[in-house]
Chains A and B, each alone.
Chain A
Amino acid sequence: DTGVSQDPRHKITKRGQNVTFRCDPISEHNRLYWYRQTLGQGPEFLTYFQNEAQLEKSRLLSDRFSAERPKGSFSTLEIQRTEQGDSAMYLCASSPSIGAAKNIQYFGAGTRLSVL
């Protein structure tokens, strides 16, 4: 297992365009999290899935943001009508729900979004 994979690593887009990011968690991890990180700040929680169910969603996740995890494996995060303020690193993390590692989130390297 190569860990949590995120694609693309970098995305440059023009204001108003839609973008979609993908996250492939560690296999058998049924918990999946999305975070946003801006310069000088820590990761900021966006949303949480257990299997395919979206159980928690931050109020930071405006109507322009949507996340899915259709089969309980990979997840996508879509941002519609991007704004310059959406420029950030988007991180995905996964964890198992049982076992010694259930409290530990394993992070991907992130997708850096730049909105021009």
Chain B
Amino acid sequence: DQQVKQNSPSLSVQEGRISILNCDYTNSMFDYFLWYKKYPAEGPTFLISISSIKDKNEDGRFTVFLNKSAKHLSLHIVPSQPGDSAVYFCAASEGFNKFYFGSGTKLNVKP
């Protein structure tokens, strides 16, 4: 049961421009959403999160937007840097017992 979906397997962006990564979910009971970044040969690393009671959370160059009515969240990276090139996963949970991950979007930031 694919409860969290990332429909874009890859994204290519020029350095300095905005990167927008998208994620859709089906379970309206999800109350917490997270973005993770993964480099090859490493485990995922936490990037930013948002509670279902908010619609926006910002941390430096990274902003996550949550649209509950559309069951959609997005991650904005501004400005994008070559070091941001990685695979990005969105994840969602209802409580903290179980987390559902999307299939990931590979971001390539070109110098």
Contact surface of A with B, Cβ cutoff 8 Å: 4, 31, 33, 35, 40-45, 48, 55-56, 58, 91, 93, 95, 97, 102-110
CA distance A91 to B4 in the complex (A): 19
CA distance A31 to B104 in the complex (A): 24
Residues of B within 8 A of A56 (CB): 97-98
| Closest residue of B by beta carbon distance from A110 | B43
| Closest residue of A by beta carbon distance from B99 | A45
Residues of A within 8 A of B97 (CB): 48, 55-56
CA distance A48 to B17 in the complex (A): 39
On whether the beta carbons of B46 and A33 are closer than 8 Å, the reply is no
Tell me the smallest distance from the CB of A7 to a CB of chain B, in Å. 14
Q: Chain B 42-58, CB within 8 Å of chain A: the 1/0 string?
A: 11111001000000000
| Closest residue of A by beta carbon distance from B50 | A103
Q: Can you report 23 residue pairs joining A to B where beta carbons are below 8 Å apart? A: A4-B43, A40-B104, A42-B4, A42-B6, A42-B91, A42-B101, A43-B101, A45-B100, A45-B101, A48-B98, A95-B96, A102-B96, A103-B32, A103-B49, A103-B96, A104-B34, A104-B46, A104-B49, A105-B34, A107-B36, A108-B43, A109-B43, A110-B43
Residues of B within 8 A of A102 (CB): 96
Most buried by A among B34, B91, B99, B100: B99
Residues of A within 8 A of B96 (CB): 31, 95, 97, 102-103
CA distance A105 to B43 in the complex (A): 11
CA distance A33 to B91 in the complex (A): 14
| Closest residue of A by beta carbon distance from B106 | A40
CA distance A106 to B42 in the complex (A): 12
On whether the beta carbons of B49 and A42 are closer than 8 Å, the reply is no
